[in-house]
Structure 1
Amino acid sequence: MAVWEYNPQPAKSVGALRKQLQISHATAELVVRAGFDCPDSAREFLHPRLSRISCPFEIPNLQKAAERICQALDHGQRIVICGDYDVDGVTSTALLVDFLKQFGNYAKFIVPLRLEEGYGLTRKTAERAMDCGEKADLFIALDCGTNSVDEAAFIQSQGCDLIIVDHHQSKQKLPEGVLLVNPHVEGNGSDSDFCTVGLVFKLTHGILKLKRDQKDPTAFNITLRDYLDIVSMGTIADLVPLTRENRIFTRIGLKALSNTKRKGLGSLMRVSGMNAQHGVKPVDVSFKLGPRINASGRLADASLAVELLLSDDSAFCMETSLKLDSFNRERQEIERSIVEEAKRQVERTQADKSGLVVFGKNWHPGVVGIVASRLSRDYDRPCIVLGKEGDLAKGSGRSVEGVNLVQ
């Protein structure tokens, strides 16, 4: 039986917050428990303001990336964007494509096809992205590419500059000349809580600063706050800590999401059974919007989800939202079947093991990651779930606190 222990916080700190911020005792105690025991920091935590975000150029290489994109905008260069197929990648891609369009640059975008091309920036994905008729001048990889050394070299060999905006850990060094915006690799850790859509928001902020310095009239008509609806979605769905600037993005972004002008999001919320008039909460993103966007990448083509976020066509938005809902229902059925079979394997042969490895030759590769998360949580053990891909077993792993599957 679980035993709950109550450890009261210092009465002096709690009392000071109650008095100065005019909040309840319970709220004051929770805020102190979260580490905000002085009125100023507690006020910032309770009432996040967009004006408090830091200069984007504090992130290593971000200013260089912004300058290269401004160069492409100024000279009408062709830009290709490749974003990952999860919610973070989809929202990152939609944000940057829409932002660049405001300056008259209609960037081509692609999303990796999970079943045909695999995960991340693979050679097949890079070749498809570069095969766009007219030569690309600038390739921007979002939420992928940090470890795509050979693919980066291939893109450069085509006479194309490469910018990678990502938040995954690095295993090897990229070729010289690649602009990598990744606080985990280039930074000191202070900005490492961002997911990719947060970094892309910072990148657009940097571009906007440079364009306003150029007195570009378009830059003065763009309001970055308008993008926080999709920034909040990617941030919540990617499970990064909702602290510091991430908290600002999500707090303001959820309010924007409740009143979004994006027809695609409006359609998806209706199909998901949401009533935005009652406000959108993190749980709505995690269990309603996020899974439907993810399902397109797991079972079909995540570019559908990007197109949904970009479209102003009401009929297309409703039709696409219904497709994503159908994909999600199919994903749920596949997941349920695999979980049941995997648990039978565990109970039969691995009940006493400290780590779990399960395999099914017909298990869908787009769902094994979710199953691994489910098993790891249910059994409180590290878990690897494998399916068959050609002559290989390929899958995904999830772990528990204290056990690193990579290191």
Structure 2
Amino acid sequence: MDSQQLSLGGNIWKSAAVDEGMAERMSLAYNLSPALAHLLCVRKIAFNEVNNFINPKLQNLMPDPYVLKDMQKAAERVAQAVENGEKIAIIGDYDVDGATSTSELVRFFKAVGINPQVHIPSREEGYGPSDLAFCEFEAAGAKLVITIDCGTTAFDVLNRAAAKGFEIIVIDHHEAEAKLPDIYAVINPKRLDEDNQYPYLAYMSAVGVGFMFLVALNRKLRNDGFYSNHPAPELKNLLDLVALGTVCDVVPLLGLNRAYVRQGLKIMAQQNNIGLKSLLKAAQVESAPNAYHLGFVLGPRINACGRVGDAVLGSRLLCCENETEAQMLADKFNALNAERKDIENYVLLKAIEQVEGQTQEYPIAFAYGEDWHQGVIGIVAGKLKERYNVPAFVMSVEPDEVKGSARSIEGVDLGALIISAKEKGVITGGGGHIMAAGF
């Protein structure tokens, strides 16, 4: 075969079929070049969605937050807590989406006079809510708990906590099961009982769902007259965090997500967030940040904290208000990221040797090792997926359990597979979404 027909990765180029008539209509109706119109058709952008794709605006793409189930009751309960000065606790996650979504909540609450208690689990503790977190909250006297980027399928832990009198609100975006935890509220666009009036809401990462919640909460506080005696926070200033978490969680940049990122990049360029400003400086980003910088420069550095460092550092930097401390943290992120790269390269090499050294029974890349760092197996799974163009599963074998991470290709819903495996008792726990999962 002519080498010019192959991509740099050795794959065969195949031209996507294009509706020439539709491309011409788009080009004429929206004054687009033929090449851009063809590209929009290839990406399956509907004719009436072209403006929202090319020029996405929050005012056009964000519906009333109350369209999501439990949003109104959650906003009303948290507004009551803010107005009464109740203690509020937050459980987040250790990846970029977890750090940014936790930070947007923390920054908002501090702006309205609440200093929330935050628990970010270590990878050793495991993903999601834990009895340890609720013990900490109970000791601190915090009975209203918000979990973000986790909690939808944490039935046992949340039900035990609810039985002890905790009021729990889950804000999440991971795949849901038919049943939900028996708690105060579960906000998740992937709830099976959502009516999907706005299908693109299901694409949101946790930080995007969290921002919708803050819009609802902010509106409720304003309607209650809270801001007559308190300064109102500028929600738009949180969009830099929303953009960062959205890009780094590798969700489709369609619908509301696209508006989040476009507007968030504008806010990030203003460098109002001291932590992000310090991280951009440490990473030697001198131009206005773009999506590449979010996904391949800032994201890996924040992720490195949860992978090989201290999981709480990510949200600590993103909430930092002291420039000296922020720069020290940013420099530490650089060092942790370098360490993460060394560990990742070692595990990737071993995984490739394993995959290519034995026959794979199924069309997947399957690798495991006893000395593989849990913090990098997700990255390695992603690289195996890219290398072989098949779903990839990478596992770290521990003395008492096996922890795994998986990355998928189009057409294979990992989130649904993990839920099915958990329901059948094949695995003890796990969760995720279409393209990525942990178990």
TM-score, normalised to structure 1, is: 0.91
Are residues 1:398 and 2:404 paired? Answer: no
From the superposition, tell whether residues 237 and 18 of structure 1 become closer, same or farther in structure 2 (CA, over 3 Å). same
- Aligned match of 2:205: 195
- Higher mean alpha-carbon deviation, 293-302 vs 136-145, is at 293-302
| Aligned 1:312-391 pairs, distance under 5 A | 312-350=321-359, 354-391=363-400
1:208 Cα deviation from its structure 2 partner: 1.3
From the superposition, tell whether residues 353 and 193 of structure 1 become closer, same or farther in structure 2 (CA, over 3 Å). closer
- Structure 1 portions without partners, runs of 5+: none
- Aligned match of 2:132: 124
Q: Matched residues in 2 for 1:229 and 1:402: separation?
A: 31
From the superposition, tell whether residues 86 and 390 of structure 1 become closer, same or farther in structure 2 (CA, over 3 Å). same
Give the conservation status (yes or no) of the 8 Å contact 2:153–2:181: no
Q: Matched residues in 2 for 1:44 and 1:235: separation?
A: 17
Question: What amino acid sits opposite 1:283 in the alignment?
Answer: Y
Q: Matched residues in 1 for 2:365 and 2:56: separation?
A: 42
Write out per-residue CA displacement over residues 14-59 of structure 1, whole angstroms, 9 at most, x where no aligned residue. 5565555444333344345444565x64233222222222111111
Write out per-residue CA displacement over residues 50-109 of structure 1, whole angstroms, 9 at most, x where no aligned residue. 222211111111111101100111111110001111111111110011111121111111
From the superposition, tell whether residues 154 and 27 of structure 1 become closer, same or farther in structure 2 (CA, over 3 Å). same
Give the conservation status (yes or no) of the 8 Å contact 1:149–1:173: no
Q: Matched residues in 2 for 1:101 and 1:298: separation?
A: 28
- Higher mean alpha-carbon deviation, 367-376 vs 194-203, is at 367-376
Percent identity among equivalent residues? 33
Q: Matched residues in 2 for 1:356 and 1:27: separation?
A: 36
- Aligned match of 2:262: 251
Question: What amino acid sits opposite 2:342 in the alignment?
Answer: E
Q: Matched residues in 2 for 1:287 and 1:134: separation?
A: 38
- Higher mean alpha-carbon deviation, 195-204 vs 28-37, is at 28-37
From the superposition, tell whether residues 399 and 22 of structure 1 become closer, same or farther in structure 2 (CA, over 3 Å). closer
Q: Matched residues in 1 for 2:202 and 2:362: separation?
A: 34
- Aligned match of 1:156: 162
Question: What amino acid sits opposite 2:243 in the alignment?
Answer: S
Q: Matched residues in 1 for 2:233 and 2:222: separation?
A: 10
From the superposition, tell whether residues 153 and 325 of structure 1 become closer, same or farther in structure 2 (CA, over 3 Å). same
| Aligned 1:197-236 pairs, distance under 5 A | 197-217=207-227, 221-236=232-247
Question: What amino acid sits opposite 1:236 in the alignment?
Answer: V
- Aligned match of 1:178: 184
Count of aligned pairs: 400
Give the conservation status (yes or no) of the 8 Å contact 2:91–2:128: no
From the superposition, tell whether residues 282 and 135 of structure 1 become closer, same or farther in structure 2 (CA, over 3 Å). same
- Aligned match of 1:237: 248
Q: Matched residues in 2 for 1:22 and 1:376: separation?
A: 38
Partner of 2:374: helix, strand, or coil? Answer: coil
Q: Matched residues in 2 for 1:160 and 1:266: separation?
A: 37
- Higher mean alpha-carbon deviation, 81-90 vs 16-25, is at 16-25
Are residues 1:49 and 2:60 paired? Answer: no
Write out per-residue CA displacement over residues 108-149 of structure 1, whole angstroms, 9 at most, x where no aligned residue. 11211112x112223334334x25x43112000000111111
Write out per-residue CA displacement over residues 147-170 of structure 1, whole angstroms, 9 at most, x where no aligned residue. 111111222233220000011112
Which of 277, 301, 310 in structure 2 is aligned with 1:266? 277
1:381 Cα deviation from its structure 2 partner: 2.7
1:395 Cα deviation from its structure 2 partner: 2.0
- Aligned match of 1:94: 103
1:305 Cα deviation from its structure 2 partner: 1.2
Write out per-residue CA displacement over residues 276-307 of structure 1, whole angstroms, 9 at most, x where no aligned residue. xx322111111111111111011122211111
- Aligned match of 1:298: 307
Write out per-residue CA displacement over residues 345-396 of structure 1, whole angstroms, 9 at most, x where no aligned residue. 2222236753333221111111112112212221223332222222333222
Q: Matched residues in 2 for 1:41 and 1:377: separation?
A: 30
Q: Matched residues in 1 for 2:140 and 2:155: separation?
A: 24
Question: What amino acid sits opposite 2:106 in the alignment?
Answer: V
- Aligned match of 2:123: 114
- Aligned match of 2:424: none
Partner of 1:184: helix, strand, or coil? Answer: coil
Write out per-residue CA displacement over residues 234-282 of structure 1, whole angstroms, 9 at most, x where no aligned residue. 111111111111111111111211222111101101111212xx32211
Partner of 1:287: helix, strand, or coil? Answer: helix
Question: What amino acid sits opposite 1:389 in the alignment?
Answer: E
| Aligned 1:32-47 pairs, distance under 5 A | 32-36=41-45, 38=47, 41-47=49-55
Q: Let me know the Cα RMSD of the aligned residues.
A: 2.2
Give the conservation status (yes or no) of the 8 Å contact 2:237–2:272: no
Give the conservation status (yes or no) of the 8 Å contact 1:385–1:395: yes
Give the conservation status (yes or no) of the 8 Å contact 1:14–1:37: no
Q: Matched residues in 1 for 2:188 and 2:176: separation?
A: 9
1:401 Cα deviation from its structure 2 partner: 3.3
| Aligned 1:61-80 pairs, distance under 5 A | 61-80=70-89
1:330 Cα deviation from its structure 2 partner: 0.7
Give the conservation status (yes or no) of the 8 Å contact 2:269–2:288: yes
Give the conservation status (yes or no) of the 8 Å contact 1:113–1:300: no
From the superposition, tell whether residues 58 and 8 of structure 1 become closer, same or farther in structure 2 (CA, over 3 Å). closer
Question: What amino acid sits opposite 1:94 in the alignment?
Answer: S
- Aligned match of 2:291: 282
Partner of 1:141: helix, strand, or coil? Answer: strand
1:220 Cα deviation from its structure 2 partner: 6.8
- Aligned match of 2:150: 144
Question: What amino acid sits opposite 1:109 in the alignment?
Answer: V
Q: Matched residues in 2 for 1:363 and 1:352: separation?
A: 23
Q: Matched residues in 1 for 2:264 and 2:86: separation?
A: 32
From the superposition, tell whether residues 177 and 33 of structure 1 become closer, same or farther in structure 2 (CA, over 3 Å). same
TM-score, normalised to structure 2, is: 0.85
